[in-house]
Each structure stands twice: as structure tokens, then as C-alpha cells.
Amino acid sequence: MAQQDFDFIRQLAYRESGIVLPDRKQHMVYSRLSRRLRALKLSNFNQYCQRLEDDGCELINFINALTTNLTSFFREAHHFDYLERHLVPQWQQRRNRRLRVWSSACSTGEEAYSIAMTLAKHFPPANWDLKILATDLDTNVLDKARAGIYNQEAMANLPKKLLDKYVEPGPKPDEVKLSESLKQLIHFKQLNLLGDWPMQGPFDLIFCRNVLIYFDLQTKAKIISQFRQLLAEDGHLFIGHSETLHNVSSDFKLIGQTIYQPQHAALARQRLGIGA
């Protein structure tokens, strides 16, 4: 990979997805994209860069190869604890029985299904209009998420009551699948956070975890501003354990461990003496 190839690749990645690829990521880029060169029977990265310029379809594979999809069920457990201990009781007092949650970088679906398992028992579909939107840039991981089929090992840490209620035998001996009742709560959709957002909102809760770390400050600020526009006035935003909105946005106030709320709502909580 010549330097000019890497420069082209990182400029394209930034333009199409907002992902920032510093020099230290060159080896990672080489490793991931080499698979595409082999699949296309290309001899070098110069040829691949030319292919990216000429073939719009390859751009999807390019983005899929570069995105990182490390995830697990109930990852960063404090968020799900806060959801169940604090948000569920608040929401159960509503007259309007509508709930909307967005998993904005859902990867292979573990986050969205974890949200669904947490909420389904408290908000049965017979009485509540509960919908979870789950989006990701990578079309490959979305296919896996929609299928809801995982290795048994992925479920190892789930409580038995959740396994008994929502997990069924899968198509292979070492696989399991999630129940249709759980899948029906989630709508999986491809979405580029840098592109147009067709959803209307408002959302009661937005998960955007371990995504902002890939963006520069300007891109972070733009995305967070758009989240605020789609978030309910008393909504919440959860971000990743290594992320912060400090110096990114003044629209939100930190109320818990990587848990944010719109400024005015957070101030109202303080006046009422409601802790996180």
C-alpha cells in the first residue's frame, strides 16, 4: 500500500462515513482491505483505489470492511441497570403509552436485543406501543442482526430467565436464535449517520455507544446536535465508556456514567432532587 493509496482511502472513508483514519491505522486498513483485493483478484491497492472510483457498488464492501463491530449482549451493563431501575418506572407512569428507542450503531444486533429483553417484560405489546429502531452503516452485520441467530457462547452470561423466555434452539447444534416476539419489537435499517436521517422521532432514549471515537470534533458535534433534535424533551442519550460530550455539545448535561439528558431537563431533575 503506497502512501498515496492510503491517503485516498482515508479521504474516501471520511467523506462517506465520517471515520477518521490516522497514520497509525494504516496496518489495520491494509489488513482489512487486503481481503477485498483477493476477492476482486486485484494485484495492488492502486488498482483497488481505481475500482472504488469506478464502481459504486464496491463502496458498500469498502465501508463494511473498515467498520469495527465489537459488541456483546448487555455490554456496559450500567446502562441497562439505569434503564431498568430509573427509566422504566418513569415511563410506566405515562398516560401516553408510546415508547421509542434508537440503537444508532447496532452492529450484529446484541445491543438492540438487550434493549428489547429489558423492556418487553415491563411494556407488553397488548398495552404499549413499544418500538426499537436499530441502525448501522454495515449491511453485513445488519443481515446477521435481522436473523437473530448466535453462537451459544454469545449467550453464556444471560440470566436463565431470559434464556428460557427469549432463546430457542438454532438451525445448527452450536447455535441459538432469538424469539419472534422479541424480533417484532425491533426494526433493523441501514443508516449512515453522515447522511439523511428519515426518522421523525421523538425518541425517549438513544444509544450511540463507541461510535463517536471514530469521528473528528466537527462530525461529533453535528451528530450530537441531530440527536438532540430527535430526542424527547425528557429523553436520554447513552454513549460509550470511553466517550464524552465535554467540549462537543452544550445541549446535554451528564447525569450518570456516560448518561446524558438535555440541559433543561437535567436542571429540572436537580431542582426536584432527583439523582442518577
Catalytic positions are 32, 136
Identify the CA nearest to 194 among candidates 104, 108, 262, 260. Answer: 104
How far is Cα 32 from Cα 14, in angstroms, rounded to an integer? 17
Element at 143 (helix H, strand E): helix 139-147
Map grid coordinates 486498513 to a residue: 29
C-alpha grid cell for residue 152?
Answer: 451459544
Map grid coordinates 470534533 to a residue: 217
Sign of the C-alpha dihedral, residues 79, 227, 234, 252?
positive
Residue type, 58: E
- Mapped onto helix, strand or coil, the DSSP state of residue 164 is helix
